[in-house]
Structure 1
Amino acid sequence: MTEESKQVESLLPYDRWTEDAMREVALRALDHAGAHGLPGEHHFYLTFRTDYPGISIPSHLKARYPEEMTIVLQHQFWDLKVNREAGIVSAGLSFGGVPATLVIPIAALTAFWDPHVRVGLRFPSSEPAAPAQAPEPKPAPPMATQSAPSDAAEAAEEEEGPAQVVSLDAFRRRPTRDGA
Protein backbone atom coordinates (compact mmCIF):
# COMPACT_ATOMS: atom_id res chain seq x y z
CA MET A 1 0.00 0.00 0.00
CA THR A 2 1.49 3.32 -0.99
CA GLU A 3 1.58 6.35 1.25
CA GLU A 4 -1.01 8.10 -0.96
CA SER A 5 -3.51 5.22 -0.82
CA LYS A 6 -3.52 4.78 2.97
CA GLN A 7 -6.96 5.28 4.45
CA VAL A 8 -7.23 8.34 6.67
CA GLU A 9 -8.35 7.64 10.23
CA SER A 10 -11.74 9.25 10.79
CA LEU A 11 -12.36 11.27 13.91
CA LEU A 12 -16.09 10.77 13.34
CA PRO A 13 -17.74 7.40 14.12
CA TYR A 14 -19.26 6.82 10.67
CA ASP A 15 -19.31 3.04 11.09
CA ARG A 16 -21.33 3.32 14.32
CA TRP A 17 -23.71 5.87 12.80
CA THR A 18 -24.28 3.61 9.79
CA GLU A 19 -24.93 0.61 12.01
CA ASP A 20 -27.39 2.64 14.11
CA ALA A 21 -29.21 3.78 10.96
CA MET A 22 -29.50 0.20 9.68
CA ARG A 23 -30.84 -0.98 13.04
CA GLU A 24 -33.37 1.85 12.90
CA VAL A 25 -34.66 0.56 9.54
CA ALA A 26 -35.26 -2.86 11.11
CA LEU A 27 -36.85 -1.32 14.22
CA ARG A 28 -39.21 0.79 12.10
CA ALA A 29 -40.31 -2.31 10.18
CA LEU A 30 -40.91 -4.15 13.47
CA ASP A 31 -42.74 -1.10 14.90
CA HIS A 32 -44.99 -0.96 11.83
CA ALA A 33 -45.77 -4.68 12.00
CA GLY A 34 -46.54 -4.39 15.72
CA ALA A 35 -48.94 -1.48 15.21
CA HIS A 36 -50.55 -2.45 11.89
CA GLY A 37 -49.74 -6.11 11.26
CA LEU A 38 -47.68 -7.36 8.35
CA PRO A 39 -48.87 -6.02 4.99
CA GLY A 40 -49.34 -8.40 2.07
CA GLU A 41 -46.79 -11.19 1.91
CA HIS A 42 -44.18 -9.45 4.07
CA HIS A 43 -42.68 -11.50 6.89
CA PHE A 44 -39.51 -11.13 8.90
CA TYR A 45 -36.64 -13.32 9.98
CA LEU A 46 -35.01 -11.84 13.06
CA THR A 47 -31.65 -13.23 14.19
CA PHE A 48 -30.25 -12.42 17.61
CA ARG A 49 -27.63 -13.44 20.16
CA THR A 50 -29.17 -15.73 22.77
CA ASP A 51 -26.17 -15.26 25.08
CA TYR A 52 -26.55 -11.48 25.24
CA PRO A 53 -27.23 -9.94 28.69
CA GLY A 54 -30.89 -9.09 29.21
CA ILE A 55 -32.24 -11.66 26.76
CA SER A 56 -35.37 -13.44 27.95
CA ILE A 57 -36.31 -16.63 26.11
CA PRO A 58 -37.53 -20.02 27.36
CA SER A 59 -34.73 -22.12 28.84
CA HIS A 60 -35.27 -25.00 26.37
CA LEU A 61 -34.63 -22.57 23.49
CA LYS A 62 -31.54 -21.16 25.17
CA ALA A 63 -30.24 -24.71 25.59
CA ARG A 64 -30.98 -25.54 21.95
CA TYR A 65 -29.58 -22.25 20.63
CA PRO A 66 -26.81 -21.27 23.08
CA GLU A 67 -25.35 -18.47 20.92
CA GLU A 68 -27.70 -17.36 18.15
CA MET A 69 -31.29 -17.95 17.08
CA THR A 70 -33.54 -16.90 14.20
CA ILE A 71 -37.28 -16.42 14.64
CA VAL A 72 -39.88 -15.92 11.94
CA LEU A 73 -42.55 -13.26 12.40
CA GLN A 74 -45.25 -14.19 9.92
CA HIS A 75 -48.68 -15.57 10.81
CA GLN A 76 -48.64 -16.52 14.48
CA PHE A 77 -47.09 -13.87 16.67
CA TRP A 78 -48.61 -11.33 19.02
CA ASP A 79 -47.74 -8.27 21.10
CA LEU A 80 -44.80 -7.29 18.89
CA LYS A 81 -43.35 -4.16 20.49
CA VAL A 82 -40.23 -2.05 20.11
CA ASN A 83 -39.26 -0.11 23.23
CA ARG A 84 -36.37 2.15 22.30
CA GLU A 85 -36.13 3.66 25.80
CA ALA A 86 -35.62 0.22 27.35
CA GLY A 87 -33.59 -0.92 24.33
CA ILE A 88 -35.70 -4.05 23.69
CA VAL A 89 -37.93 -5.79 21.18
CA SER A 90 -40.56 -8.17 22.55
CA ALA A 91 -42.95 -10.57 20.85
CA GLY A 92 -45.17 -13.49 21.69
CA LEU A 93 -44.59 -16.70 19.74
CA SER A 94 -45.48 -20.37 20.09
CA PHE A 95 -42.79 -23.03 20.19
CA GLY A 96 -44.15 -26.56 19.86
CA GLY A 97 -47.62 -25.22 20.69
CA VAL A 98 -46.40 -23.59 23.92
CA PRO A 99 -46.78 -19.78 23.97
CA ALA A 100 -43.82 -17.68 25.13
CA THR A 101 -42.87 -14.02 25.22
CA LEU A 102 -39.37 -13.26 23.98
CA VAL A 103 -37.57 -10.12 25.15
CA ILE A 104 -34.59 -9.27 22.95
CA PRO A 105 -32.20 -6.37 23.61
CA ILE A 106 -31.88 -4.29 20.45
CA ALA A 107 -28.09 -4.58 20.71
CA ALA A 108 -28.44 -8.40 20.53
CA LEU A 109 -29.92 -8.26 17.01
CA THR A 110 -27.53 -9.58 14.38
CA ALA A 111 -29.75 -9.74 11.28
CA PHE A 112 -33.10 -8.67 9.88
CA TRP A 113 -34.51 -10.17 6.68
CA ASP A 114 -37.76 -9.59 4.78
CA PRO A 115 -37.72 -12.31 2.11
CA HIS A 116 -40.83 -10.97 0.35
CA VAL A 117 -38.85 -8.00 -0.96
CA ARG A 118 -35.41 -9.59 -0.46
CA VAL A 119 -34.19 -6.90 1.92
CA GLY A 120 -31.70 -8.00 4.51
CA LEU A 121 -29.60 -6.18 7.04
CA ARG A 122 -26.75 -7.78 8.94
CA PHE A 123 -25.36 -6.11 12.01
CA PRO A 124 -21.93 -6.75 13.51
CA SER A 125 -22.01 -9.32 16.25
CA SER A 126 -23.10 -7.44 19.34
CA GLU A 127 -21.30 -9.57 21.85
CA PRO A 128 -21.15 -8.58 25.49
CA ALA A 129 -18.17 -6.45 26.41
CA ALA A 130 -15.13 -8.66 26.25
CA PRO A 131 -11.87 -8.26 28.11
CA ALA A 132 -8.97 -6.59 26.30
CA GLN A 133 -8.57 -8.18 22.90
CA ALA A 134 -5.73 -10.55 22.37
CA PRO A 135 -3.87 -10.32 19.06
CA GLU A 136 -5.86 -11.94 16.29
CA PRO A 137 -4.68 -15.41 15.35
CA LYS A 138 -4.00 -16.21 11.71
CA PRO A 139 -7.30 -16.71 9.91
CA ALA A 140 -8.43 -20.30 9.67
CA PRO A 141 -9.26 -21.78 6.29
CA PRO A 142 -12.84 -20.92 5.35
CA MET A 143 -15.43 -23.35 6.66
CA ALA A 144 -18.99 -23.61 5.46
CA THR A 145 -20.32 -22.77 8.92
CA GLN A 146 -18.29 -19.57 9.39
CA SER A 147 -20.38 -17.43 7.07
CA ALA A 148 -23.35 -19.65 6.36
CA PRO A 149 -26.73 -18.06 7.04
CA SER A 150 -29.05 -19.58 9.60
CA ASP A 151 -31.18 -22.53 8.48
CA ALA A 152 -34.29 -20.36 8.27
CA ALA A 153 -32.58 -17.66 6.22
CA GLU A 154 -30.98 -20.29 3.99
CA ALA A 155 -34.35 -21.91 3.34
CA ALA A 156 -35.83 -18.52 2.49
CA GLU A 157 -32.97 -17.75 0.12
CA GLU A 158 -33.54 -21.02 -1.73
CA GLU A 159 -37.21 -20.06 -2.12
CA GLU A 160 -36.74 -16.38 -2.92
CA GLY A 161 -33.26 -16.01 -4.46
CA PRO A 162 -30.26 -14.10 -3.12
CA ALA A 163 -30.81 -11.34 -0.58
CA GLN A 164 -29.66 -7.77 -0.68
CA VAL A 165 -27.70 -7.99 2.58
CA VAL A 166 -25.85 -4.92 3.74
CA SER A 167 -22.90 -5.65 6.01
CA LEU A 168 -20.74 -3.00 7.62
CA ASP A 169 -17.76 -5.35 7.81
CA ALA A 170 -16.82 -4.51 4.23
CA PHE A 171 -16.37 -0.87 5.22
CA ARG A 172 -14.52 -1.35 8.49
CA ARG A 173 -10.87 -0.54 8.63
CA ARG A 174 -8.83 -3.68 9.06
CA PRO A 175 -5.52 -3.56 10.97
CA THR A 176 -2.49 -4.48 8.91
CA ARG A 177 0.06 -7.05 9.97
CA ASP A 178 2.63 -4.37 10.83
CA GLY A 179 0.08 -2.59 13.08
CA ALA A 180 -0.12 0.54 10.87
Structure 2
Amino acid sequence: MSRGIDYGNLMHTAMRGLIKTVLSDVEHKGLPGAHHFFITFDTRHPDAGLADWLSDRYPGEMTIVVQHWYENLHVDDDGFSITLNFGDTPEPLYIPYDAIKTFVDPSVEFGLRFESPDADDSDEMDEDEQDDDEERHSDAEVVSLDSFRKH
Protein backbone atom coordinates (compact mmCIF):
# COMPACT_ATOMS: atom_id res chain seq x y z
CA MET A 1 0.00 0.00 0.00
CA SER A 2 1.44 3.36 -0.96
CA ARG A 3 1.79 6.15 1.52
CA GLY A 4 -0.28 9.25 0.73
CA ILE A 5 0.08 12.88 1.67
CA ASP A 6 -2.16 13.74 4.60
CA TYR A 7 -3.27 17.18 3.42
CA GLY A 8 -5.96 17.41 6.10
CA ASN A 9 -3.42 17.07 8.90
CA LEU A 10 -0.99 19.42 7.18
CA MET A 11 -3.72 22.08 6.81
CA HIS A 12 -4.70 21.74 10.48
CA THR A 13 -1.06 22.19 11.50
CA ALA A 14 -0.67 25.24 9.26
CA MET A 15 -3.92 26.83 10.46
CA ARG A 16 -2.98 26.28 14.11
CA GLY A 17 0.41 27.83 13.37
CA LEU A 18 -1.40 30.86 11.98
CA ILE A 19 -3.46 31.17 15.19
CA LYS A 20 -0.28 30.86 17.28
CA THR A 21 1.42 33.59 15.23
CA VAL A 22 -1.57 35.95 15.51
CA LEU A 23 -1.97 35.41 19.27
CA SER A 24 1.77 35.77 19.85
CA ASP A 25 1.71 39.12 18.06
CA VAL A 26 -1.26 40.22 20.20
CA GLU A 27 0.59 39.03 23.32
CA HIS A 28 3.50 41.36 22.55
CA LYS A 29 1.78 44.31 20.84
CA GLY A 30 -1.89 44.19 21.86
CA LEU A 31 -4.93 44.02 19.60
CA PRO A 32 -4.57 46.40 16.66
CA GLY A 33 -7.48 48.58 15.54
CA ALA A 34 -10.88 46.91 15.53
CA HIS A 35 -9.51 43.36 15.54
CA HIS A 36 -11.10 40.95 18.00
CA PHE A 37 -11.54 37.19 18.13
CA PHE A 38 -14.29 34.68 18.75
CA ILE A 39 -12.62 31.40 19.67
CA THR A 40 -14.71 28.27 20.18
CA PHE A 41 -12.97 25.36 21.86
CA ASP A 42 -13.68 21.90 23.22
CA THR A 43 -14.01 22.20 27.01
CA ARG A 44 -13.56 18.41 27.33
CA HIS A 45 -10.08 18.44 25.80
CA PRO A 46 -7.77 16.77 28.36
CA ASP A 47 -5.30 19.69 28.35
CA ALA A 48 -7.88 22.49 28.48
CA GLY A 49 -7.71 24.41 31.73
CA LEU A 50 -10.80 26.12 33.06
CA ALA A 51 -12.64 26.46 36.35
CA ASP A 52 -15.00 23.61 37.27
CA TRP A 53 -18.00 25.94 37.23
CA LEU A 54 -17.18 26.92 33.63
CA SER A 55 -16.74 23.33 32.45
CA ASP A 56 -20.03 22.46 34.20
CA ARG A 57 -21.77 25.37 32.48
CA TYR A 58 -20.18 24.59 29.09
CA PRO A 59 -19.83 20.79 29.06
CA GLY A 60 -18.97 20.44 25.35
CA GLU A 61 -17.73 23.65 23.88
CA MET A 62 -17.37 27.28 24.79
CA THR A 63 -16.84 30.46 22.79
CA ILE A 64 -14.67 33.19 24.25
CA VAL A 65 -14.32 36.74 23.00
CA VAL A 66 -10.91 38.41 23.07
CA GLN A 67 -11.65 42.08 22.63
CA HIS A 68 -11.92 44.84 25.23
CA TRP A 69 -10.75 43.25 28.45
CA TYR A 70 -8.30 40.39 28.79
CA GLU A 71 -5.17 39.88 30.85
CA ASN A 72 -2.20 37.56 31.09
CA LEU A 73 -2.23 36.39 27.47
CA HIS A 74 0.66 33.98 27.15
CA VAL A 75 1.27 31.93 24.02
CA ASP A 76 3.30 28.71 24.00
CA ASP A 77 3.92 25.91 21.53
CA ASP A 78 0.85 23.89 22.53
CA GLY A 79 -1.76 26.55 23.31
CA PHE A 80 -2.37 29.81 25.09
CA SER A 81 -3.44 31.02 28.50
CA ILE A 82 -5.59 34.08 29.06
CA THR A 83 -7.61 35.62 31.86
CA LEU A 84 -11.11 36.76 30.89
CA ASN A 85 -13.91 38.36 32.85
CA PHE A 86 -17.04 36.23 33.37
CA GLY A 87 -19.58 38.54 34.96
CA ASP A 88 -17.38 40.26 37.50
CA THR A 89 -15.15 37.25 38.02
CA PRO A 90 -11.74 37.10 36.29
CA GLU A 91 -10.98 33.49 35.35
CA PRO A 92 -7.78 32.07 33.89
CA LEU A 93 -8.13 29.69 30.94
CA TYR A 94 -5.69 27.48 29.08
CA ILE A 95 -6.72 26.54 25.56
CA PRO A 96 -4.64 24.04 23.58
CA TYR A 97 -4.52 24.77 19.86
CA ASP A 98 -5.87 21.32 19.07
CA ALA A 99 -8.96 22.04 21.23
CA ILE A 100 -9.91 24.99 19.01
CA LYS A 101 -12.96 24.39 16.83
CA THR A 102 -13.32 27.86 15.31
CA PHE A 103 -11.25 31.04 15.23
CA VAL A 104 -12.97 34.13 13.82
CA ASP A 105 -11.91 37.75 13.48
CA PRO A 106 -15.12 39.44 12.31
CA SER A 107 -13.41 42.81 11.90
CA VAL A 108 -11.76 41.53 8.73
CA GLU A 109 -14.22 38.75 7.87
CA PHE A 110 -11.68 36.00 8.55
CA GLY A 111 -12.42 32.64 10.07
CA LEU A 112 -11.11 29.12 10.43
CA ARG A 113 -13.08 26.03 11.33
CA PHE A 114 -11.50 22.74 12.32
CA GLU A 115 -13.35 19.55 11.52
CA SER A 116 -13.49 17.08 14.39
CA PRO A 117 -11.44 13.91 13.86
CA ASP A 118 -14.53 11.74 14.41
CA ALA A 119 -16.52 13.47 11.64
CA ASP A 120 -17.53 11.13 8.84
CA ASP A 121 -15.15 11.91 5.97
CA SER A 122 -17.24 10.10 3.37
CA ASP A 123 -20.40 12.20 3.72
CA GLU A 124 -20.80 15.84 2.87
CA MET A 125 -22.77 18.13 5.18
CA ASP A 126 -26.46 17.93 4.50
CA GLU A 127 -28.22 21.02 3.14
CA ASP A 128 -29.71 22.05 6.52
CA GLU A 129 -26.34 21.95 8.26
CA GLN A 130 -24.77 24.01 5.47
CA ASP A 131 -27.55 26.62 5.68
CA ASP A 132 -27.24 26.83 9.50
CA ASP A 133 -23.46 27.12 9.22
CA GLU A 134 -23.71 29.87 6.62
CA GLU A 135 -26.09 31.83 8.87
CA ARG A 136 -23.81 31.48 11.92
CA HIS A 137 -20.74 32.62 9.99
CA SER A 138 -22.32 35.08 7.57
CA ASP A 139 -19.95 37.79 8.78
CA ALA A 140 -16.80 35.72 8.32
CA GLU A 141 -15.16 33.67 5.63
CA VAL A 142 -14.76 30.17 7.03
CA VAL A 143 -12.22 27.82 5.53
CA SER A 144 -13.36 24.23 5.92
CA LEU A 145 -11.03 21.34 5.25
CA ASP A 146 -13.94 19.45 3.72
CA SER A 147 -13.65 21.66 0.65
CA PHE A 148 -10.17 20.22 0.06
CA ARG A 149 -11.08 16.59 0.59
CA LYS A 150 -11.45 14.18 -2.31
CA HIS A 151 -14.93 12.64 -2.54
TM-score (norm 1): 0.71
Identical pairs, percent? 37
- Paired with 1:139 and 1:120, the residues of 2 have a C-alpha distance of 20
Cα distance in 1 between the residues matched to 2:8 and 2:139: 25
> Residue 81 and residue 10 in structure 1: after superposition, are their counterparts in 2 closer, same or farther (change >3 A)?
same
Give the alignment of 1:105-120 within 5 angstroms.
105-120=96-111
Match of 1:62 in 2: 55
CA distance in 2 between counterparts of 1:164 and 1:148 reads 11
Once the two structures are superposed, residues 106-158 of structure 1 have per-residue CA deviations (whole angstroms, 9 ceiling, x without a partner) of 1101111001001001112267xxxxxxx99x9997666x9548xxx94xx5x
In 1, the alpha carbon distance for the partners of 2:84 and 2:4 equals 43
Which whole-Å CA distance do the structure 2 matches of 1:104 and 1:82 have between them?
10
Report SS of the residue matched to 1:116.
helix
Segments of structure 1 that go 5 or more residues without pairing to the other structure are 1-8, 128-134, 175-180
Greater helix share, structure number = 2
The residue aligned with 2:140 is: 163
Q: Give the whole-Å Cα distance in 1 for the aligned partners of 2:37 and 2:52.
A: 23
Cα shift at 1:26:
1.4
Contact 2:20 2:79 in 1 (8 A): no
- How far 1:172 sits from its partner (Å)? 2.5
Contact 1:46 1:111 in 2 (8 A): yes
Hey, which bits of structure 1, 4+ residues long, moved more than 6 A? Answer: 138-142
For 1:105, the aligned partner's letter is: P
Q: Which residue of 1 aligns with 2:31?
A: 38
- 2-structure distance, mates of 1:10, 1:147: 37
Task: Quote the offset at 1:71 in angstroms.
Answer: 0.2
Q: Say how many residue pairs are matched.
A: 149
**1:13 matched to which residue of 2?**
6
Native 8 Å contact 1:110 1:126 kept in 2: no
Gaps of 5+ in 2: none
